[in-house]
Amino acid sequence: MNIAEQDVNPKSNQLTVIKDATCTFCGCVCDDMELTVENNRITKAKNACVLGKAWFFHHGIQDRPNATIEGKPVSYEEAFDAAVEILLNATYPITYGLSDSTSEAQRVAVAITDWIGGTIDTTTSVCHGPSGIAFQSVGEVTCSLGEIKNRADFIIFWGGNPAESHPRHFTKYSLMPKGEFIPNGRKDRTVVLIDVRKTKSVKAADIFLQIKPRSDFELAWALRGLAKGIDIDSSIEQKIGISLATLRDMMDRMKEAKFGVILFGMGLTMTRGKHLNSEAVLALARDMNQYTRWCAKPMRGHGNVTGADNVVSWTTGFPFGVNLNRGYPRFNPGEFTTSDVLARGEADAALIIASDPMSNFSQPAREHLKTIKSIVLDPKLTDTAKHATVAFTTSTYGINTGGTVYRMDDVPIPLRPAFESPYKGDYEILKAIENRIRGKQLASMMD
Amino acid sequence: MAEEFILIPGRTSRQGTSLNEGKDSDAYQEEINTLRMATTDMKRLAIDNGDNIRMWNDVGEVVIPCQAAKGDELPPGILFISYGDKSSYLMGGDTHGSGMPDSKCIDVFVEKFKTD
Amino acid sequence: MALFRISGGTVYDPRNNIDGEIRDLWMDNGRIVERPTDPNCRADKTLDATGTVVMPGGIDMHCHIAGPKVNAARKMMPDEKRTAQPITRTRLTRSGSGGSVPSTFATGYLYAGLGYTTAFDAAIPPLAARHVHEELEDTPIIDKGFYVLMGNNHYVMKQLQANQTEHLTTYVSWLLNATKGFAAKLVNPGGVEVWKSGGKNATGIDDSVDHFDVSPRQIIAGVAQAVMDLALPHPVHIHCNNLGLPGNWMTTLETMKALEGRSGHLTHIQFHSYGGDPDQQHTFCSKVPELVEYFNTHENLTVDVGQVMFDKTTSMTADGPLGYFLHKVTGRKWFSADTEMESGCGIVPITYKDSSMVHALQWAIGLEWYLLAKDPWRIAMSTDHPNGGSFLAYPEIIALLMDRTRRKEVLNRVPASVKQRCTLEQLDREYTLNEIAIITRAAPARILGLEHKGHLGIGADADVTIYNPHSDRQKMFELPRYVICRGEVIVDDGDIIKDVTGKLLHVAPAYDKTIVPDIQSWFEKYYTIQFRNYPVDLNPLHEYQEIPTK
């Protein structure tokens, strides 16, 4: 199934170097990794940032069972059968996670959910789901990362801390690179950072706007108003903690830019306003195209969360929070998104792939997840895996298994795995589950 | 004396690297179990580096050590924590129809944790 | 495999000069075969097609069904899906959503249900080729392929500027090999680059694109020549500059002339046939007769129509500035995406109303093309799905072409001034079933250079659509009785009875490998992925068919 070649040398103890390998830790999806492999371990990761290095160095082969049921080691066959039992007997199963899995595996996860009439949601719903909702409302004016490299002379980072979340973004895409129309790299660019805290990213910026908490919405609308020449009441200064004079200056600079881009993060989607914040920023970037060229891009977090959005969209028509109970896709954030389905105690079974909601979800959601049957696929023994009814230890995508991932700007990139793993990958496990489900369904259905 | 703060759970570089080691690793556990506060706030609440504080809201409660934020990284009234198990205790289930719980800028009460 | 016989149907196979003859068809191993000479040889399976109309499977040679642009449109339109007919999961088939941008499984099922067995996505930026392959793998039943955007490609423009014909030809070939694409596509050549860099647009084919110093004319002629030199099965596929603007018919005529006798396919020609002044909407009128006059006498040209139908739909195009224009005109939500080095994209929902003079005239202009073009072999049916309307509107278009009273009814319903702005009222021509078979099957196959499609001669792919005749042609074509793909009955009275995966059709022209280092060094300077990660590998789990060069 692997579309990418496998440069794998599993039997030999010799040193192997894998070039053009892809790191999937964050949404940058850097594909210029040079991995040195010795004895089934990656010992060097040239070009990787600290996060990438940690990702590559700490995903070795652990000594754990292939699969467990209620914590007891079982064979793959027994685990597949138990998983299928749970899924076929559930009334309201939910499939969640998927942002650290290949698109090939994601497609099978959707297939399973379709056949059993469950709900499919991905980590998008607790990340840039609000930006997806905003996108459905106003659209989006965007570009691939190479357009930023080659054209952008004005960059705004809003509600994010790329220095710590996407370390190579500045050097590879947005600040440092020389581009076709940006011959002097950083010197040709003006960089603005908007945040509540003075993070490590401030050092990279020319202008830092320290905004008061929960006032991003007002800031975005004030800028929209200034762009259109509307007088903004001075009470805004107290609300957002930034003077009108600064805002006016900012808008003047934005209009003078040749090609501007707003790169926004969780600071917008996770606070008061959520999708209304994202919507305001998307609308601002859109409005600016009346004067010059502007784009806006959500900074996607995980390696293949963009793939999850794409896969769920093309197979169902909707990006996340999709219910298939009635035999066809229905979409409703808040109704079919995992945080809600768990917190309200609605799901009676969960299929969780490469994600750890037990560590990150709201307290009511975690409480309910503990009480229901779950099937978990993960390379690590996470809290979610510890609570699973059926747990699979999986190989790691991009390190042991190949496939396709989508960078934060929707560019699809192949994986070049470094060494083989004795564990099955997400795709193989999900396919085995799907085949068993289909076998049972086709045998039992009378025409 | 309890005071109201705004809690911001977020990513850090150290959280990102240590979670690859494993969420039960010392580095990761230390990272998500540390609350950062502005030095002016700490002074006023008589909290020293490493002191435990009690933090709660209508969803839940945690007891967690507190460290001063570097320099002026945090404005007064704002707390930062690497998101994870501890911050999840304070996150409510209501997503207001958006699918996204209130995950940043969470209203909390804070006081120094008294051990007696 | 099994010998399969379709007996007693009334066959329309224009390529083989069969115009409504009662004949048997024999199929084996996915192909049409000769009737067995041994009189004792019996078919393993026989389908009694007595009283039915039998045609080759339909071919949609220009639609938007897969890739980043289409997927963005899906994501952007949940509102439309709330009232659209959902596609419900069955024992054998996956669920999906409908509306103007159906999900992938739904797309395959809907096309098959309509009797279409082949479709080509018209506009893919090469950087997204991998994405298109994945979506097409999830688009069941139909055979498929896609066209690769090149008209605003930086390397293409650089070679044209430097007069490096060899490099240009090599790059076109290399790009088609890297993407596993089918044809070279130009969308608003040069104009999208003008938008990307400064928010404006090309206004004529002799404008110069800043920084690259080439004109749309050079791009058109240069790529058309490269395609001919590579002997690709399908000529350069052109979405002309100035789409949608009153007065653009002159740009279209200039584009036709710019080809200088080289083969060229001008797509969704309806949108490019407007007279009048952009600043004076009341002057908007049809220039189809003028364009058809040139078209009729220049056999190097082929077109597909891009018919507008009255309904709500979604406009989606690689023509970035066009997207912005539609957003400003309609005020509706707008998606735009610029792809580094390669292309742009614009998506805006749109509703065509029969109460609008402009929309009704667009509708009429499309029909004028069908009715005025003399040679049906050079004109293919399309709605530029979903830009002019959904592909599901094809049966209605067939009905309008075959029945002039039906056209008149609509003309009498729309704003009266439409009649003065075009010749439709005077056009009495009614298409025959044979001519419908040409413009929906035989002509697209020929224009695409697909020897095994669009006909029912020996060796053809056994893609067959069987209709129950009905005087209401729309009803007849909406619900085929049977649809057969590569010799297997897939659709029976509207039900999908077998789920199969079609083949991806692509070209693999030869090229001079010594030029690749030049491509690579340009690539590595400007792109943001590794050169080695750009080309797509064939997926061992999927079927492909390489279409040879001529």
ipTM: 0.97
User: Looking at the DSSP assignment, which residues form a beta bridge with residue A260?
Assistant: A154, A294
Mean pLDDT of C107-111: 98
Q: Do A148 and A171 contact (CB within 8 A), yes or no?
A: no
For chain A, which ranges sit under pLDDT 50? 1-10, 12, 447
Q: Establish whether chain A is in contact with chain B, requiring a minimum of 3 CB pairs below 8 angstroms.
A: yes
Mean pLDDT of B30-35: 94
Fold of the domain built from segment(s) A129-298: Dimethylsulfoxide Reductase; domain 2 (3.40.228)
Instruction: Enumerate the residues of chain A whose CB falls inside 8 A of the CB of residue B11.
Output: 161, 164-165
Q: Point out the least confidently predicted range of A185-194, C1-10, C359-368.
A: C1-10
Nearest chain B residue to A396 by CA distance is: B20
CA–CA separation, A145 and A175 (whole Å): 11
**pLDDT more than 70, % of chain A:** 96
pLDDT of residue A444: 87
Residue ranges of chain B whose CB lies within 8 Å of a chain A CB: 6, 8, 10-13, 16-18, 20-23, 59-60, 71-75, 78, 80, 83-85, 88-105
Question: How is chain C split into domains, by residue range?
Answer: 55-453+460-496
Number of Cβ atoms within 10 Å of the Cβ of A77: 11
Alpha-carbon distance values, C336 to A436, C203, C264, C417, C509 (Å) = 42, 20, 28, 35, 32
One-letter amino acid for residue A212 of the chain: K
CB pair distance less than 8 Å for A270 and B89: no
Nearest CA among A447, A421, A436, A423 for reference residue A115: A436
* Nearest CA-CA distance, residue C83 and chain A, Å: 11
Q: Please provide residue C10's backbone torsions phi and psi, each rounded to the nearest 5 degrees.
A: -90, 110
Helix, strand or coil for residue C163?
A: coil
CA–CA separation, A43 and A24 (whole Å): 17
CA–CA separation, C222 and C243 (whole Å): 21
pLDDT of residue C541: 87
* Nearest CA-CA distance, residue B34 and chain A, Å: 16
CB pair distance less than 8 Å for A144 and C338: yes
Quickly state the pLDDT bin for C281 (edges 50, 70, 90): confident
Q: C157: Cβ–Cβ under 8 A, 6 or more apart, which residues?
A: C190, C193, C209, C212, C214, C219
Interface of C with A in 132-171 (CB under 8 A): 134-135, 138, 154
Is any Cβ of chain B less than 8 angstroms from the Cβ of A169?
no
- For C313-348, the pLDDT digits (tens) are 999 999 999 999 999 999 999 999 999 999 999 999
Per the listing, tokens 């950087």 go with C127
pLDDT of residue A447: 44
Nearest chain A residue to C99 by CA distance is: A317
Cβ neighbourhood burial of C369 (10 Å; 0-12, 13-18, 19+): buried
CB pair distance less than 8 Å for A266 and B103: yes
Size of interface A-B (CB pairs under 8 A): 158
- For A370-421, the pLDDT digits (tens) are 999 999 999 999 999 999 999 999 999 999 999 999 999 999 999 999 999 9
Per the listing, tokens 């996470």 go with A382
CB pair distance less than 8 Å for C334 and A141: yes
Q: A443: Cβ–Cβ under 8 A, 6 or more apart, which residues?
A: none
pLDDT at C534 > cutoff 90: yes
**Residue of C75, C157, C327 to mutate, interface with A, max A Cβ within 10 Å:** C75
Number of Cβ atoms within 10 Å of the Cβ of B50: 9
Helix, strand or coil for residue C94?
A: coil
**Residue of A359, A366, A387 to mutate, interface with B, max B Cβ within 10 Å:** A359
Architecture of domain C55-453+460-496: Alpha-Beta Barrel (3.20)
Number of Cβ atoms within 10 Å of the Cβ of C289: 12
* CB hemisphere CA count around B9 (13 angstroms): 25
The CATH class for the domain spanning A67-127+303-397+423-444 reads alpha beta
The sign one gets for the Cα dihedral A80, A86, A90, A92 is negative
Size of interface A-C (CB pairs under 8 A): 202
Is any Cβ of chain B less than 8 angstroms from the Cβ of A292?
no
Is any Cβ of chain B less than 8 angstroms from the Cβ of A387?
no
pLDDT of residue C1: 57
Instruction: Enumerate the residues of chain C whose CB falls inside 8 A of the CB of residue A309.
Output: 75
CA–CA separation, B111 and C113 (whole Å): 68
Per the listing, tokens 């590998």 go with C537
pLDDT of residue A2: 38
For C108-156, the DSSP string reads HHHHHHTTEEEEEEEEE-GGGHHHHHHHHHTS-SSEEEEEEE-TT-HHH
* Nearest CA-CA distance, residue A50 and chain B, Å: 7
Q: Specify the DSSP element, H or E, that contains A55.
A: helix A50-57
pLDDT of residue A351: 98
The pTM of the full predicted model, rounded to 2 decimals, is 0.97
Quickly state the pLDDT bin for B70 (edges 50, 70, 90): very high
Is any Cβ of chain A less than 8 angstroms from the Cβ of C392?
no
Chains that touch B (3 or more CB pairs under 8 A): A
One-letter amino acid for residue C207 of the chain: D
Calculate the CA dihedral of residues A97, A103, A106, A112 and round it to 10 degrees: 180
Number of Cβ atoms within 10 Å of the Cβ of B37: 25
Is any Cβ of chain A less than 8 angstroms from the Cβ of C528?
yes
pLDDT of residue C346: 98
pLDDT at C267 > cutoff 80: yes
CATH label, B3-112, candidates 3.90.226.10, 3.90.550.10, 2.40.40.20, 2.60.40.10 = 2.40.40.20
Nearest CA among C56, C67, C64, C26 for reference residue C116: C56
Instruction: Enumerate the residues of chain A whose CB falls inside 8 A of the CB of residue B74.
Output: 197-198
User: Looking at the DSSP assignment, which residues form a beta bridge with residue C546?
Assistant: C506
Q: Do C124 and C179 contact (CB within 8 A), yes or no?
A: yes
CA–CA separation, B79 and B102 (whole Å): 15
Token pair belonging to A255? 């209009």
Beta-strand pair C301-304/C264-266: parallel
C79, C95, C333: residue with CB nearest A327: C95
Q: Please provide residue A108's backbone torsions phi and psi, each rounded to the nearest 5 degrees.
A: -70, -35
One-letter amino acid for residue C185 of the chain: K
For C368-385, the DSSP string reads HHHHH-S-GGGEE---TB
Alpha-carbon distance values, A437 to A121, A326, A441 (Å) = 20, 18, 6
pLDDT of residue A446: 54
Give, as one character, the DSSP assignment of residue A397. B
**Whether residue C386 has a cis bond before it, omega within 30° of 0:** yes
Question: How is chain A split into domains, by residue range?
Answer: 67-127+303-397+423-444, 129-298
Q: Distance between terminal CA atoms of chain A? A: 33
